[in-house]
Amino acid sequence: MSRSWKILVAVLVIAGIVAGVGVALGRGFLSEQQARAKAGDVAAEIAARALNDDDFHRTVGVDPAAEFTEITRGIAVDPQVTLGEVAIGSDKNSAVARLHYSWPVLAGSPAWAYDTTLQLTKTGDAWKASWTPELVAPGLGDHERLRGRRLQPTRGEILGAGGVRLASNQPATRVGIDKTLVDAATAVASARALAQVVGIDPAAYAARVQKAGPKAYLEAAVLRDNDPTQKEQADRASAIDGVRPIDTVRPLAISSSFARPLLGVVGEADAAAVANSKGAIRPGELAGLTGLQGRYDATLRGRAGYEIQAVLRSDPATGRELYAIPAADGADLTLTLDARLQSQAERVLAPVKPASAIVAIRPSDGHVLAAASGPGSNGYSTATLGRYAPGSTFKTVSGLGMLRAGRTPASTVTCAPAILVGGMRFDNFQGYPASALGQVPLTTAFAHSCNTAFIGDRGRVGQAQLRQAGDALGLDIAPDLGLPGFLGEVPEQAPSVEHAASMIGQGKVLASPLGMATVAASIEKGQRVRPVLLAGRAPASAPAPAAPLTAAERAQLKQLMAATVTEGGAGVLRGLPGGQVFAKTGTASYGAAPVRFHAWVIALQGDLAVAVFVEDGTSGAKTAGPLMRDFLTAVRG
């Protein structure tokens, strides 16, 4: 064979070898890609919680999809699973894939994250995965499954002055209709009976029960175990067909009515609360719904935790911890409310049918000691949100304007039976004493609340000066209580008739009981008081009054208020325990045919400023005065 032929043969042999190697390498690369694709399929199936048995080797008695479902049914969220490195074995028929798990079990907290390995083997041209519980979590045995549970924090308490618990976690009984226990007709009839026992609207509750689904549980009330009356109600409720009592622990106030408009309530979170929490609250969990419980829910509620265990399938009570985020208990919220004063205020208001309020402030530091709204307020915080004409209690403000315009308590003013302004007739209140008519000292006009004398000085005291006086006494500044509130509103400009009405606390002048208690507190302190409800939290800064109250003005205002008790309309407050009382009554007319009256009185006694309000009354002296007497007697006696 010639040399050229030998070379050609050698080239052809080498080419064949190279081609064979290329084919082998191509097949190996393709096989590795197939293994990676199969591992990726399994990872996606795990993330979707839907394993495909066809992707796994068949083992007698083992169903990978069913096993996976059993292992993971105790965790509500889906895992995020990503495929990592895939290593092909030296035999080219086996592979190991790394899977990275991330379970977002708790919003705002680190996920439960770990890696597992997926074994794959090639049978013929197909790759199949091998099933083992350790594919789901490292170290998981055939006899175990996963269980996740939220760890609930202990809710913070709402405390009052002296650390008294105003709202705290208490053992209680939920009572409600369980529609699975009785037929539909019985459920509705029982709902009416239950409503009567717990004191809610029978028609409204029965309608709720009727509209609910056949498996619903409709809570009617949460009754305190440590309240004998409510414990007896729970016992009576439990005897009604279809009522299911449920033992619970709830954040509850001292009583069901205690400061309820302020403190608010805690209950099962509604859909809106769950959505707004961005995962912090789950359906069925407790959340603050109203008042301070609602506004400071995140602080009081704390932060839920989460625990994942591997538990025995045969005995779920036995398990071992795999992962845990501890719950963070809620923080307490401390108020300035004095439990004793608040309770006495609510006791005094209990028989009052119209909307009503008593607010007590400590002038020295502005602490709100009581902010009670009567039962006639129907859950509305009349004490802090009411917007009413303050009537003659506002004469403390217009009186300050008159003092600043040159009047003194001894100045002579004209108290006529009536006065005309722009065609509008203003009268004194019905029954005004004839002895206090005519040319009288300002002290007498103030003590007996002569409307015409104050309106007669409208030329001395412009509307802007009235507003300035209100600002000096804290009436026209938005409060910063930590929850919505209102003090008062004094227009800076007003036409002649409205200005005349402003002089006696009517027209467009508005105030809340909190606002008039603030006026009284500012007089006592001798400077503008900002009311404080959250202990240790100073109100946000506000511009200083353009004309702050002076020591001389304070003394003169207190002289006028003293005369209201000794010789005027607040005589019911004479001789009370606790020292001298300074006061001003007020009656504000509203409506027509017939005209109705708001009844007011404000009072000072030592380091205590109080406002009493009744939406519909006879007069400040006759309606609000006795309530003030009863309150001061109770808290000072």
Residue 32 to residue 140: CA distance in whole angstroms: 29
CA neighbor of 89 nearest in space, from 172, 31, 135: 31
pLDDT tens track for 117-139: 999 999 888 999 999 999 999 99
Query: What is the three-class DSSP state of 182?
Result: coil
Q: Of 423, 419, 399, 426, which Cα lies nearest the Cα of 559?
A: 399
State the pLDDT at residue 436. 96
Q: Please report the pLDDT score of residue 270 as a whole number.
A: 83
Rounded to whole angstroms, the Cα distance separating 95 from 88 reads 4
Give the mean pLDDT of the chain: 93
Share of the chain above pLDDT 70, in %: 95
- How many CB atoms sit inside 10 A of residue 227's CB? 17
Bridge partners (DSSP) listed for residue 324: 307
Evaluate whether 358 touches 348 at the Cβ level (below 8 Å).
yes
**What is the identity of the amino acid at 625?**
G
Closest CA to 513 of 345, 335, 294: 345
Q: How many CB atoms lie within 10 A of CB 190?
A: 22
pLDDT at 22: 42
* Closest of 274, 474, 195, 511 to residue 384, by C-alpha: 511
The span from the CA of 288 to the CA of 601, in Å, is: 34
pLDDT at 538: 87
Q: With 70 as the cut, is the pLDDT of residue 636 above it?
A: yes
Does residue 590 register a pLDDT over 50? yes
Partner residues linked to 116 by β-bridges: 99
Integer angstrom CA distances of residue 262 from 37, 294, 373, 441? 61, 10, 9, 43
**144-151/305-312 β-pairing:** antiparallel
Per-residue model confidence as pLDDT tens digits over 454-512: 999 999 999 999 999 999 999 988 999 999 999 999 999 999 999 999 999 999 999 99
What gap in Å lies between CA 571 and CA 94, rounded to an integer?
101
Separation between Cα atoms, residue 102 and residue 81, nearest integer Å: 6
In the structure encoding, which two tokens stand for residue 287, read together?
A: 């959340």
At 107, the pLDDT band (50, 70, 90 cuts) reads confident
**Whether the Cβ atoms of residue 81 and residue 39 lie closer than 8 Å to each other:** no
Report the pLDDT averaged over residues 550-560. 98
Rounded to whole angstroms, what are the CA distances from 258 to 252, 373, 448?
10, 10, 36
Q: What is the pLDDT of residue 23?
A: 40
Per-residue model confidence (pLDDT) at position 2: 56
The Cα–Cα gap between 263 and 44 comes to 49
Secondary structure (3-state) at 612: strand
Copy the structure tokens of residue 507.
């027209």
- Between residues 376 and 31, the one the model is more confident about: 376
pLDDT in tens, 512-523: 999 999 999 999
Q: What is the pLDDT of residues 603-628, one digit of tens each?
A: 999 999 999 999 999 999 999 999 99
Is the per-residue pLDDT at 25 higher than 70?
A: no
**DSSP H/E element including 15:** helix 3-48
Mean pLDDT, range 197-213, rounded to an integer: 96
Q: For residue 274, give the H/E element and its range.
A: helix 271-276
Encoding tokens for residue 80? 């995020």
Residue 4's pLDDT band (cuts 50, 70, 90): low
H or E element that contains 187: helix 184-198
pLDDT at 18: 41
Quickly list H helices, 485-581: 496-502, 513-525, 551-566
Reply yes or no on whether the pLDDT at 24 is more than 70: no
pLDDT mean over 43-70: 94
How many Å apart are CA 220 and CA 199, to the nearest integer?
9
> What was the pLDDT predicted at 30?
63
Give the pTM.
0.86
pLDDT, one tens digit per residue, over 406-450 is 999 999 999 999 999 999 999 998 889 999 999 999 999 999 999
Q: Is the pLDDT of residue 238 over 80?
A: yes
